[in-house]
Structure 1
């Protein structure tokens, strides 16, 4: 008589779990297939009309206007002072492009500047250097062309009558 090898408990558990899982999935699939028509019917009868009504109500609210008249038969004096106490942060670049005249406050030496001397009467040209000093008080025309970064917090404290 031939003996069969014993099955382990783990292998038996796996076989039972596989059969149970297969049976559960088949039953679940049948329930879903049978429930689909009633779910579609529920959607058509209840959910779609409710959503359509909500959509129409929201569209109506968007187009609605309210007209009302409020009669006031006595003067209403509304007057008060609004105190402001808040810092104002400034952070921007200020472009400056203008011509102005500055006055020298001290002597300005100019040393060894290249110069070209034209001799009169067709005497020719001599290249050389020049050194001189601009005196204090001399008005000097200049052109300012720059961008000044402004980063400042200004405290604003005032009372505004309303």
Structure 2
């Protein structure tokens, strides 16, 4: 009796093995067809969408590194002006009131009569123009307000932004290589 029940178990096992083999083979074929269909869809997506987009991104990254920011900046500030101004020149000054002048005088008398030494006092009248040698140093220390428009042209390739742009390019290069030409 054992042989009949063993025979039955074996035939069940053989039937299960055949079913599992056929089922596995069928599933593998279905999965292979699905993969091939997906590959058929991915190649056009890669060529028609991903590759042109990556070309545009890489082109924009290149342009970003060559970009210039051009603008005008209005500067409003105060600057300190501090220096010594040497002055040496002749100027004419006009008196605004009478100027008393007292000085020693020496007079020679005509005909060999000798000389007289004394003091002379006079008033220079108001409104008299006198030549004066101005020889001095004038200290200048002043805050001066400034307002000006300064045109600016910043080459982004010469800034710290270039490092970030280069790093971004390096990050995208593996994807660019993966997509191929």
TM range (shorter): 0.3 to 0.5
The two structures have a TM-score, normalised by structure 1, of 0.48
Compare CA radii of gyration and give the structure with the larger one.
2
Question: Could you tell me the TM-score, scaled by structure 2's length?
Answer: 0.43
> Which structure: greater helix fraction?
2
